[in-house]
A and B are shown apart, each in its own frame.
Chain A
Amino acid sequence: RKEVEQDPGPFNVPEGATVAFNCTYSNSASQSFFWYRQDCRKEPKLLMSVYSSGNEDGRFTAQLNRASQYISLLIRDSKLSDSATYLCVVNSMEYGNKLVFGAGTILRVKS
């Protein structure tokens, strides 16, 4: 079983739509959780950290369910510029304080 699993997509949505991505992780001792965004042929960039209480940053909302080992990202009012690959990332001291990346979910927002 992969340490971090995501639906690869692609998710094809119209502008203005709301879209949600899910991610599951296998190590219950994982401590930190992130969503990164990666554009084609570019490096990953931190989109937001994910906290147990859930957190929001503008149109983006992230949630964490430790009991189910599940992380989600909700994007409201999708823009064309949101088109990218979204990477679910987990950090754990058991991993030697290293980031473990999911394979990513592709989002394509169309006009």
Chain B
Amino acid sequence: GAVVSQHPSWVICKSGTSVKIECRSLDFQATTMFWYRQFPKQSLMLMATSNEGSKATYEQGVEKDKFLINHASLTLSTLTVTSAHPEDSSFYICSARNSSDEQFFGPGTRLTVL
């Protein structure tokens, strides 16, 4: 199946710093990528839909100025958590959708904010 990578796989940072997470589709082009967040024992919650060459669409309650999304190419989307705080600690997962409408998930990034 298709491969989606994420980098870094885990990150620990101090409160107030910004963290950038990359999501890449390695063997297909993805006009649409999605960013999810998952807290312990909870379901994946969609944060935003990232469209190549245009602005991301954020879900209700997700601050677009705090979670900056850039989808500059058909194989790369980035999520930047700005001024991270401990409550932002979570498992961030991206997915990429191919031309057949199938969605493939990256391995996730575990963020811990101290």
Contacts from A to B (Cβ < 8 Å): 4, 41-45, 87, 96-104
User: What is the minimal beta-carbon distance from B110 to any residue of chain A, in angstroms?
Assistant: 7
Task: Give Cα A20 to B73, complex, Å.
Answer: 42
Q: C-beta contact mask, B32-58 vs A, less than 8 Å → 1, else 0? A: 001000000111111001000000010
Residue of A nearest to B42 (CB): A103
B: contact size bracket: 10 to 19
Query: How many A-B pairs with Cβ below 8 Å?
Result: 36
B103 touches A99 (CB 8 A): yes
User: What is the minimal beta-carbon distance from A98 to any residue of chain B, in angstroms?
Assistant: 6
B43 touches A41 (CB 8 A): no
A43 touches B107 (CB 8 A): yes
A98 touches B105 (CB 8 A): no
Give chain B residues whose Cβ lies under 8 Å from the Cβ of A96.
49, 57
Please list 22 pairs of residues, one from A and one from B, whose beta carbons are closer than 8 Å in the complex, sorted by A's number.
A4-B43, A41-B91, A41-B108, A42-B107, A42-B108, A43-B93, A43-B105, A43-B107, A43-B108, A44-B44, A44-B105, A45-B105, A97-B101, A98-B34, A98-B49, A99-B103, A100-B46, A101-B43, A101-B44, A101-B45, A103-B41, A104-B43
